Structure 1
Amino acid sequence: MDNIKVIVVDDHPMVIEGMKAMLNQIRSVQVCAFASNAYEALDKVNEHLPDLVITDINMPEISGVELASKLKKDFPQIKIIGMSTFNERSYILQMMQNGADGYLIKSASKEEIEEAIVSVMNGKIYLSVDTAMTTQERRDIKTQPVLTRREKEILQLIGDGLTNPQIAEKLFISLNTVDTHRKNLLLKLDANNTASLVRQAIYFNLLYI
């Protein structure tokens, strides 16, 4: 896989310089831009249309989590790798639930960064080798369903106990549209009724309860 266009987003100049040095050593990667915040990142993405965005999670104003969500909504074809100094499960879950395809610790080596890029570009989920998670937790995240913004909205309303007609009225959409989304949710979460759908949603931390 050659000429993978990458944009790196981080508000720390030293991190940017470090990533630049390592990415320039990876033959298949073409670094097309750097950004220091989410607003700048969105401008750069519109300008360069990269294959991959590597973004810090903890940024001022708009976080990497929010940026990932926005990118997946507007540019679903772009792969996203979240990057952080933290290796807590909650950070990883937030990133993956909002569309990220991988997660790296900032101390990752050039070899691991290359492995992460190759993995996500091949449609796989990548989690840093330094991530403090059990084997089961890693397996759970790698099998976690990816939901659209509307599916997340409807799932939350189902979890709140609303019926299909109530959801349709609340979101100003047709009953048929709600029914279609509900069927997609059942399929994605491997559930056969509302009760099991809610259980699966809680298991994957997809509901605010």
Structure 2
Amino acid sequence: MKPKLTIFDEPLLYAEGLSKLLVQDKIFSSIEIFNSYENLSEHIKNDPPEFLMISSGILVLTEMYSSVEKILAENKNIKIIIIGNSFDVATIRKLFNKGIKSYLDKNSSYDEFLKSIQSLLLNEIYICEYAKQMMINYISHEQEKQNSHIKDPLTKREMEILKLICDGLSSKDISEGLFISINTVETHRKRILLKLNVKNSVGVVKYALENNIFN
């Protein structure tokens, strides 16, 4: 059965436009749009959706934190997607700590929104390319300072490959782009995951969010 989506956003013109695209792609069984928190709360209470998209344009940050907490306290199974407004990494981390499952930014594309939905359907978290790049930049900066959170620092080449992995490139793509063998790429990949103590590229994102890498 296809999941239900609720959109909490304004202006309605934008939300309705997104809704029509999603209806055409037949991703959700139903799509509801609200721009009043009271109406949204009543809707969630009576007919909770699997997915809830909240825009930063409709709530200030403190309200967003409290709303996420309240919604998930009443229904922990709702997967919340936040559309941020160039939030910094500390804010994004706090939102994930509150329980959201996906962070997109105002400049994220429709295709990236679809990618986030696919990740959530697989019970994974999703962070947009904007936030992911900030994470990579932060890790790069911390490497220069010999960050104690990563006791065995990544080499310059490992950082280069880490960024390409986070950009979604396969080992074959990386080997062709850097003019090195696939075996060399795989060796670097294994060392990166070992140093960060994670299992895959998704784990890199979780590492940054959950292991105090952001101050």
Tell me if 1:14 matches 2:78.
Answer: no
Residue 51 of structure 1 and its aligned partner are, at CA, apart by 0.6
1:31 and 1:128 map into 2 onto residues whose CA distance is 24
Correspondence 1:63-78 to 2 at 5 A: 63-78=63-78
Residues in 1 aligned to 2:119 and 2:29: alpha-carbon distance in whole angstroms:
17
* Residues 111-156 of structure 1: CA deviation (Å, up to 9, x unaligned): 21111011012111100123241336686652445xxxxxxxxxxx
Aligned equivalents of 1:87, 1:60: Cα separation in 2: 14
- Give the SS at the match of 1:133: helix
2:122 is the alignment partner of 1:122: yes
- CA distance in 2 between counterparts of 1:54 and 1:122 reads 17
Structure 1: 4+ residue segments shifted above 6 A? none
In structure 1, the residue corresponding to 2:30 is in which secondary structure? strand
CA distance in 1 between counterparts of 2:205 and 2:36 reads: 27
Using the alignment, how far apart are the partners of 2:9 and 2:18 within structure 1? 10
Q: Tell me the amino acid that sits aligned with residue 38 of structure 1.
A: Y
What is the CA–CA distance in structure 2 between the aligned matches of 1:110 and 1:203, rounded to whole Å?
30
Q: TM-score normalized by structure 1? A: 0.61
Q: CA deviation at 1:60?
A: 4.2
CA drift of 1:41 comes to: 1.7
User: Structure 2 stretches of 5 or more lacking a match?
Assistant: 140-201
Change (3 A) 1:26 1:76: same
Q: Does residue 134 in structure 1 map to residue 198 in structure 2?
A: no
Cα deviation for residue 39 of structure 1 reads 2.4
TM-score, normalised via structure 2 length: 0.59
Long gaps (5+) in structure 1: 146-199
Q: Deviations over 1:7-56 (max 9, x none)?
A: 01113223312321332233221333111133222112122211110111
Which residue in the other structure is 1:52 paired with?
Answer: 51
- Note if contact 2:89-2:214 (Cα within 8 Å) is conserved in structure 1: no
Rounded Cα–Cα distance in structure 1 between residues aligned with 2:99 and 2:26: 26
Q: CA RMSD in A?
A: 2.6
Partner of 2:111: 111
In structure 2, what is the Cα distance between the partners aligned to 1:65 and 1:23?
27
Show the counterpart of 1:101.
101
Distance 1:59 1:90 in 2: 20
- Name the structure where helix makes up a greater proportion of residues: 2
Measured in 1, the distance between the counterparts of 2:82 and 2:111 equals 17
SS at 2:76's partner residue? coil
Quick one: distance in 2 between partners of 1:204 and 1:110? 28
1:142–1:110 CA distance, 2 compared to 1 (3 A): same
Corresponding residue number in structure 1 for 2:35? 36
AA matched with 1:59: I
